[in-house]
Structure 1
Amino acid sequence: MGTLAVEPATQSSPPPDRDRPAPRRATRSYGPLLAFLIASGAFCTSWAARGTFPFGTTGRAINDQANQYVPFHRALWDLVHGQSAGDLLFTWRGGFGQQFLSDYSTYLGNPFSWLAVLVPRAHVDLAVFLITPLTMGTAAALMAVYLGKLQPGPWWQRGVLGAVYGLCGWALSDASYIPMWMWGLAALPLLGIAVEWCLEERHWPGAALLVAVAWFGNFYTAIMATIAACVLLAVRLIVLDLTRAQRLRAAWRAATAAVTGILLTLPLLLPSFLSSGASQPTRAAAFDPVRIEVFLTGMLPGTHLWGGRPRLYVASLGLILAGSFLLNKAVARRTRLVWAGAALLVALSFQFPPTQYVWHGLAVPNGNPYRETFVFSGILVIIAWLSLANRPRPAHLALTAALLVAATFALRHTNDFGGTTWPAVLGGGAVSLLALVLLALGEKRRVLIPVAAVLMVGVVFAESTAAAVNADARRARERWAKPIATSGRSITNHFDAVRSVDGWPAYRTDSGTPQTSYNDTLSLRAEGPQYYSSYLPESTYKALEPLGYGYTNDGRTFFGADNPVLDAIFSIGARTEPGPEKNSWTARTFPAPPLVTVRSAPYASPNPPASVYAHQEQVLGATVYQVPPVTRGGSASKQRYTATCTPGSEAFWYSPQLYGTVAFAGAEKPLADRTAGVVRLGEVPASGRVDVTVRTRTRGGTAGAHPVGCLDRAALATTVGRLTVTGATHVTAGGHGIEATLPKGASGTAVFAMTAVPGWQCSAPVKSFHGLVSLDIPPNTNKLSCTFTPQGLTPGLAGATLALLALASVTVTGLRRRRRT
């Protein structure tokens, strides 16, 4: 194997690594440890400064952290502790049965997610919050290691710049509440280390495993980190003095290591890819790049812009060092030009729609379109390190600092400019410049070096803490980021109430309203329709939406409905609701058919086919509603509807186009258009008149032709009794399977109370019954069973097996070769 030769530098550059004494093994971990402590410590300090839980009463869980990540981690806790209704492949909790493997891969891949299973279930939310500083610290530590591989230098300087990367704007402002994305921050230096091993022509199995670790953590950000690793590889192949054969070997080793590592993750990756293709589509907008002044403002330290803006900044220390890189003649000219060109091209790619599409895995981002900006921050830190390791001149540092101040002044009128930017630029910049000047003077006066070290650590810690506080404070002003409680007396009592009426799989329990999160079924161990996942199948949406269940997020989030007909369809036999005292919850049970019922003949509802009530009857197989014509009056903002129903029946309302309130018999309830679903109004009075008033702000919206349905409770009770007698006598629901014993001589169609999501294989051919799984009962059969296997799992396992064989063969061959030599 040839020896790598770096491009020669000027006389002022430090001597090559081979001329230095080998560092003591005890000091090798100091740099990563320092980086970890600065990064994680600064972020936790920002929590304490704002009085955020667990350092105060201010809520921590915002947006999807409360609605998805905490509930999914509670589901992981249940899974590991043997208390889940399902397994790694499937969950019966939520959406009336959904795949779980893709959700695990996407939301629970961060290795620190497993901390959630080590704490009591009541404290899972705290473990989820701690994932962020732990991942930040790990990413900072890994970057410190990677920087040392690019060029040797003092451990404490690598530690400080590693922390600068771990505390970049993307981590503080964009991803700090998204635990699985945070692993992308760690994936970048991991893949950078793998690149260096490939260039050194050693540790090929280790490089493949590093790729696998990056992709296991979260494939979405791993895609971005892998593209960035390709940039790092290209830069290193250009700046290093290699022969053509060495370059080809390095590129081949990198390509094969990447393919092998990704193949190892195929059992998760392929099902996730196929689940994404089968999921309910969203109306993601086309990428619209921000104005150039907004883009440049995102590079200023401590800046947090509103909405989907790029957060590209690093601490002022890193920015000043990166700016001095081009002026640092101790670095070879070709090295400076190539690295600077790579940084520029990466930044430009963020503003160009086709390359943005590539950065996001060939998908249009649904939300903030600048999710890959940690890549640019990583390259900035690399450039900063190469400048620092080559002792930049104080004059160059001062010039860069002056340019930073001038740029801040020029961009001060950018929309939403503010927060800690000026303090970071003036205060943090001045201290950073002082520390770097002292460090330069320390070559002759060694006593100044500890002072410079303390100043560098202190300014990064303080500036990043202030930036994190500012990001949290400004984000909290946005409506979507209002913190939501994830623990407390009410939630504990709600959980206990759900568990007190657990009857699974004899019947389902609905956790009721009001909801704590969009995934209350996972948090509270219920089995209702509530579910929020990017992988919620289109088939589930098509099954539940026509029945009158409320939804949001373009159909990827479904809510419950307190409707007895829907309860009968989906075998819901228990429900919880708020009790009379504050934070109290009560539970009630009621008759419900089994999870598997038998239908002997097709049924056609006599009610208007366009109404939601007729569709419920079609699935139920009986007439239980009266759907009267309505008369509309009033104004556009205060609409009045009148209908006539049988006295004593129960009136329901459905108006998915209206947002506002609906009032009946002196009681008013909220209407949130499609989120509300079917709403219970109350008992029809003796007069038979159903007078409804809707106050709405929906311009031009109406309740439609058939918003009122009046339920005959006696007819429903008769139907429930019939479905119970003719349905399954015994149902067993395993981790990802279900088995039903039918009455002797049963014939017709068996309908399973679960949506026909892709992956079900049953003892008879699967048919769709209004979106539910159904089977024609074979003659002389009294047992039916179904098993769920995620699509793509089998070929994914095959691909991973091939990768393992390749990894094992290369490892064994290498060991034998070493033994011979």
Structure 2
Amino acid sequence: MVSEDSAEGGTVRRRSALLPAAVAAVVVAAVFAASGIIRGTFPFGSLSRSTNDLGTQYIPFFAHLWDVLHGRAQGDLLFNWQSAFGVGFLADVGVDLGSPLSLLVGLFPRDQIDLAVYVVTTLKLSLAAAAMAAVLLSMRPGPRWVAAILGVSYGACGWALDDGSYVPMWLDGLIALPMFFLVAEWSLRRTNRLLSVLVVAVFWLSNFYTAYMATIAGGIYLLARLLSSDLSWSLRLRSVVRHGVSFALGMALVAPVLLPIVTTNRAATPSPSGIFHASAIDLFLSRLLPLSEGVGRTASLYVGTIALLLALTMPFNKFVPWREKAVWVVTIVAVGWSFRWAPTQEFWHAFDTPNGSQYREAFVLCGLLVAVAWISVAHKLPGPIALLGGAALLALIAVLSEGSPLLTEHWLIVLIASGALTVVAFGIIWTLRRIPGTRRTKWPVAAAFGVLLAVVAVETTWTAVITDVQRSKVLSTSAAPWDDKQTARYDALRDAGGWPAYRTEPGTSITPNDPILLGGQGAGQYSSLLPHSVNQMMTELGFGWSGYGRAAHTLDNPATDAIFSVGARMRLIGDGAPEIGRATVPPLVTVRRRLDAAVPLDTNAPNAYAAQERLLGSKVYEVPEYKGTRFAGGDVKLVAKCAPGSSAYLFMPRVGGRARLAEGRWWELSSTRRPGINTSSAMVGLGTVPANGIVLIEVNFGDAPQGIPPRNAIGCLSPAALRKAVKSLRATGATDVKASGHSLHATLPADSKGWAVIGVPKISGWTCRVAGGKPQTPRNFGGLMAVPLTGAADRVDCTFVPPGLRRGLAIGAAAAVATLGIVLIGAVRRRRRTAS
């Protein structure tokens, strides 16, 4: 039953699986495209498909990958000079861009990056469908036309349409699941040792998050196959050990990426864990049915009426052995129950309950349901009793789901029509197979295949449209596709660029990831791996953020521009046209005789003005005392006094609303969406202090009245003092700065003494040498890197190596040696057996 297949048999099996896999892939691509055409979404219409993070995070990262592939990025695969003033990049590659399919974006023009991501997304859905169709035939011989239909059902399952379609890296898990089923089959048959390890490595590299879930599912699948087999317990144990070794070695092979991800994640800005609340049973079951949508509130379990009905025939299919029935029924029920119990739900998410969609593992149950449907059919086509029994269970699910608000109009009509056609088609084939003269007649099978394939295509397309409609009402689109305005901004930034002599700040007006989407080198970055130390530094300096601190925003302030050497800044005027402003700023590396002491921590009233002055090394702000008056509705007026002609700033972090100076223009503080938790406002420049020196600031909190800090909210910047500070830093700063992929080289004035302060965030991984001396870890100076210049120095060289990379390379090398050793030992043993 599970003996190793001959080479000839393997060839026949591969050939037999090719056509069903191809049909499944083409139909799923057609379904995904048709749903976009009907909805009028990109690239078939004017509606953006960049729901939630697709436009603000993933597409910009793909754009940066394009720049890296074409040699246009500031940085490489290890470091990103463009975002958050300079952060590591390897972990982001592993989380968002690890799939080999991501490299396909390099084949498209850069201004077609949205199309490139769409094509990659479609290709991943198609590959998942093809993989499932092929793996089903590898699991057990059966009707190829059913394998094709089930492949479509999996590739266009509810999870793929709802959760995965706008989070393209999760779709690697959709492909990984059937491939890990295949690895389990190889473990059973004691074959393909090297290929097993490589398959695991590829998908853990592609996306470790969903690969983790698929790995658990692969283990569950293997246990079910073993318990339902006739193998001895010793052979079962050997299969489990073999399977575990394959996964251990595969994961170890990609340790050079996995370890930096783990290390970077530990240092990342934390976000609050979600609180899991299991959905009601009627809501949970309703997600198995067509035309249902829950936008992350419930598990997306839809696999199509045909696949679900065939899976429900198993308990009644007399051709399936009782033990196999019992094992698979218990497996499906147990996995479904694990989605509803908090401890097991945490286990599916690596013990980190997400604060977004809480059923990200739903594709696992979709895959197992499709596998059960195949097992029922592959033994022998279910007869009338099995079909009617499965239909009765399907009707029971429909009755229990009745009244669920997640079921949209016409769901029952679609369910009845699809179910009836399935029962009739299989019933006719079953009947014809029992009439002597029609047993070998092929046209009924071909007709049934055509009808059922049309049913699954229409039903999944309709469900995809409903899913997108409902999702657009809950999760608004976040960014429009690339257009002529984006091109104008991109060109303006390239023309203004002078890196590394100075930074060109693109702002964060389109997305928080504008520096990698549009170009330049700025404060903006939206990543779950944004270092917490960077977030703290920028918050202390007056920058704002969103996404629980994982999305850093720009700060249009001449003092911070001087600190970070921002010599050019893009601002959008009119209808979004770019305007480049320029400023004289210090070089990226400056020299200080001494480093000022840290600003005393005041949690009730953080002093961003003092923090900026510390990094500038000069006093440039006047921070006056002020009085506040609260009015009805929570609005506040602040009154202070500053030098006439200075620039008035307001810093009230973790609040929402707007503010203005006297009767001037209103300036937005930040979004009012959960201020202090989800968002934090940046320092706002309100205008010039009038001749009487009175600073009168009105603050409107909108619908969320909040308190104001007792001090340090208002600061008045002296332009003259800032010019003097910049002149001083330029006089003693680096005469030449060069930056390569992940290193920085600065030439200092001869006999420089004191400290070299580098306008780059201090994160783990940096080592520096002074005048070619011993490597040393730079010090932390207000969040920036500071290197002591022992004696006199004329050069500083710094290099970044992602934490965990060296250890990961060692583990990966050891895993490669171990894998080759196991393969060679196996080859020698087979040769000896053949010779004997």
Q: Sort the TM-score into its range (normalised by shorter chain).
A: over 0.9
Hey, what does 2:354 align to over in structure 1?
365
Q: Is the CA contact 1:161–1:381 (under 8 Å) kept in the aligned structure 2?
A: yes
Hey, what does 2:455 align to over in structure 1?
459
Aligned with 1:194 (options 171, 183, 198): 183
Distance 1:402 1:235 in 2: 25
Q: Judging changes above 3 Å, is the alpha-carbon distance between structure 1 residues 608 and 555 closer, same or farther for their aligned structure 2 residues?
A: closer
Distance 2:301 2:252 in 1: 32
Pair 1:304-2:297 in alignment: no
Hey, what does 1:150 align to over in structure 2?
139
Pair 1:784-2:801 in alignment: no
1:161-176 aligned at under 5 Å gives the runs 161-176=150-165
Q: Is the CA contact 1:740–1:784 (under 8 Å) kept in the aligned structure 2?
A: yes
Distance 2:159 2:38 in 1: 20
Aligned with 1:597 (options 568, 585, 590): 590
Q: Judging changes above 3 Å, is the alpha-carbon distance between structure 1 residues 24 and 189 closer, same or farther for their aligned structure 2 residues?
A: closer
Distance 2:41 2:216 in 1: 36
Hey, what does 1:740 align to over in structure 2?
746
Q: Is the CA contact 1:61–1:485 (under 8 Å) kept in the aligned structure 2?
A: yes
Distance 1:642 1:21 in 2: 82
SS in 2 for 1:73: helix
Pair 1:381-2:363 in alignment: no
Q: Is the CA contact 2:778–2:787 (under 8 Å) kept in the aligned structure 1?
A: yes
Q: Judging changes above 3 Å, is the alpha-carbon distance between structure 1 residues 59 and 606 closer, same or farther for their aligned structure 2 residues?
A: closer
Pair 1:349-2:338 in alignment: yes
Distance 2:630 2:346 in 1: 49
The letter for the 1-side match of 2:608 is V
Hey, what does 1:12 align to over in structure 2?
none
Q: Judging changes above 3 Å, is the alpha-carbon distance between structure 1 residues 451 and 442 closer, same or farther for their aligned structure 2 residues?
A: farther
Hey, what does 1:811 align to over in structure 2?
823
Hey, what does 1:246 align to over in structure 2?
235
The letter for the 2-side match of 1:438 is I
Q: Judging changes above 3 Å, is the alpha-carbon distance between structure 1 residues 611 and 711 closer, same or farther for their aligned structure 2 residues?
A: same
SS in 2 for 1:744: strand
Q: Is the CA contact 2:599–2:611 (under 8 Å) kept in the aligned structure 1?
A: no
Quote the offset at 1:187 in angstroms.
0.3
Quote the offset at 1:302 in angstroms.
2.9
Distance 2:806 2:112 in 1: 36
Q: Judging changes above 3 Å, is the alpha-carbon distance between structure 1 residues 546 and 33 closer, same or farther for their aligned structure 2 residues?
A: same
Distance 1:806 1:603 in 2: 53
Q: Judging changes above 3 Å, is the alpha-carbon distance between structure 1 residues 155 and 18 closer, same or farther for their aligned structure 2 residues?
A: farther
* Stretch moving more, 179-188 or 796-805: 796-805
* Stretch moving more, 444-453 or 682-691: 444-453
Aligned with 1:615 (options 602, 611, 624): 611
Distance 2:52 2:201 in 1: 29
Hey, what does 1:719 align to over in structure 2?
725
**CA deviation vs aligned residue, 1:34-93 (integer Å, no higher than 9, x gap):** 111121211111111101111111111111111111010011111011111111111101
Pair 1:668-2:658 in alignment: no
Distance 1:570 1:767 in 2: 17
Distance 1:35 1:448 in 2: 20
Quote the offset at 1:432 in angstroms.
2.5
Distance 1:523 1:606 in 2: 35
Aligned with 1:689 (options 687, 694, 700): 694
Q: Judging changes above 3 Å, is the alpha-carbon distance between structure 1 residues 285 and 24 closer, same or farther for their aligned structure 2 residues?
A: closer
Hey, what does 2:381 align to over in structure 1?
391
The letter for the 1-side match of 2:572 is P
Q: Judging changes above 3 Å, is the alpha-carbon distance between structure 1 residues 18 and 190 closer, same or farther for their aligned structure 2 residues?
A: closer
**CA deviation vs aligned residue, 1:573-613 (integer Å, no higher than 9, x gap):** 10011244x34212122111111111213436999974221
Q: Is the CA contact 1:38–1:160 (under 8 Å) kept in the aligned structure 2?
A: no
Pair 1:519-2:513 in alignment: yes
Distance 2:6 2:412 in 1: 39
The letter for the 2-side match of 1:562 is D
Distance 2:291 2:308 in 1: 12
Quote the offset at 1:416 in angstroms.
3.5
* Stretch moving more, 106-115 or 322-331: 106-115
1:751-790 aligned at under 5 Å gives the runs 751-763=757-769, 764-790=776-802
Q: Judging changes above 3 Å, is the alpha-carbon distance between structure 1 residues 677 and 411 closer, same or farther for their aligned structure 2 residues?
A: same
Quote the offset at 1:815 in angstroms.
4.7
Gaps of 5+ in 1: 7-15
Q: Is the CA contact 1:5–1:241 (under 8 Å) kept in the aligned structure 2?
A: no
Distance 1:543 1:338 in 2: 55
Aligned with 2:204 (options 205, 215, 219): 215
Quote the offset at 1:291 in angstroms.
2.2
Query: What's the TM-score, normalizing by structure 1?
Result: 0.95
Distance 2:386 2:13 in 1: 33
RMSD: 2.3
Distance 1:420 1:76 in 2: 43
Distance 2:759 2:251 in 1: 37
The letter for the 2-side match of 1:252 is V
Hey, what does 1:266 align to over in structure 2?
255
* Stretch moving more, 688-697 or 466-475: 688-697
Aligned with 2:107 (options 118, 122, 142): 118
* Stretch moving more, 392-401 or 79-88: 392-401
Pair 1:506-2:511 in alignment: no
Aligned with 2:52 (options 52, 63, 74): 63
Q: Is the CA contact 2:162–2:295 (under 8 Å) kept in the aligned structure 1?
A: no
Q: Is the CA contact 2:507–2:524 (under 8 Å) kept in the aligned structure 1?
A: no
Aligned with 1:555 (options 549, 556, 559): 549
Aligned with 2:650 (options 637, 653, 656): 653
Gaps of 5+ in 2: 770-775
SS in 1 for 2:360: coil
Pair 1:702-2:708 in alignment: yes
Aligned with 2:532 (options 535, 538, 541): 538
The letter for the 2-side match of 1:642 is V
Distance 2:517 2:174 in 1: 28
* Stretch moving more, 333-342 or 669-678: 669-678
SS in 2 for 1:745: strand
Distance 2:81 2:49 in 1: 29
The letter for the 1-side match of 2:607 is S
Quote the offset at 1:308 in angstroms.
2.6
Quote the offset at 1:164 in angstroms.
0.7
Aligned with 1:417 (options 407, 424, 434): 407
1:547-586 aligned at under 5 Å gives the runs 547-580=541-574, 582-586=575-579
SS in 2 for 1:747: strand
SS in 2 for 1:326: helix
Distance 1:483 1:293 in 2: 32
SS in 2 for 1:286: coil
Distance 1:70 1:306 in 2: 21
Distance 2:10 2:112 in 1: 48
Report percent identity of matched pairs: 37
Q: Is the CA contact 2:98–2:206 (under 8 Å) kept in the aligned structure 1?
A: yes
Q: Judging changes above 3 Å, is the alpha-carbon distance between structure 1 residues 504 and 25 closer, same or farther for their aligned structure 2 residues?
A: closer
Q: Is the CA contact 1:441–1:448 (under 8 Å) kept in the aligned structure 2?
A: no
Query: What's the TM-score, normalizing by structure 2?
Result: 0.93
SS in 2 for 1:740: strand
Hey, what does 1:284 align to over in structure 2?
273
Distance 2:569 2:259 in 1: 37
Distance 1:576 1:785 in 2: 30
